[in-house]
Each structure stands twice: as C-alpha cells, then as structure tokens.
Amino acid sequence: MRCYLWLIWLKLFDIVLDIVQQLATGYYHKQFFEHTSIELGLEFGNITTLLLMLLIVYLLKAAKEIEAENKEFI
C-alpha cells in the first residue's frame, strides 16, 4: 500500500507541475508579446484517475483493518 500512496503523490505532483509549467510558459510569452492568454487545461481523465486511486487506497486500508480484526478473533 505504501507504493500505491507514492503513485498517488507522483500523479498529484505531475498535475501540479503541468499547471506550473503552463503558467511559467505564459508569463515568459507575455514578456515578448502584448496579447497573451493562458489556458489551464485540467483533463478529466487525470482527476478521475487520481480519485479512483484514492478510493483504491481507502479500500485497501479498510481490508487491512478487517484482516487484522479477523486475526484477533481467531
């Protein structure tokens, strides 16, 4: 589960890095041209993937707690 949490953090870092890269590129472009528009594209697939990964981690954590409870019962 620890590795899966790292995957979530890396995915979140990738999304944030993409946003920062677009902002930095827009700011750099603004220095040379008068009219600059910055469009931050958050893809629905990235957000959905992140939410599904969080759901899987929650389910794995719940399953681990249930398994520990079953071992105590036996």
pLDDT confidence of residue 37: 84
Report how far Cα 15 is from the mean position of its chain's Cα atoms: 6
> With contact defined as beta carbons under 8 Å apart, do 36 and 29 qualify?
yes
Q: Where are the domains of the chain?
A: 2-73
pLDDT confidence of residue 39: 83
Per-residue pLDDT of the chain (74 residues; tens, 9 = 90+): 778 889 999 999 999 999 999 999 999 998 888 888 888 888 899 899 999 999 999 999 999 999 888 888 77
Q: What is the DSSP code string of 33-53?
A: -S---------HHHHHHHHHH
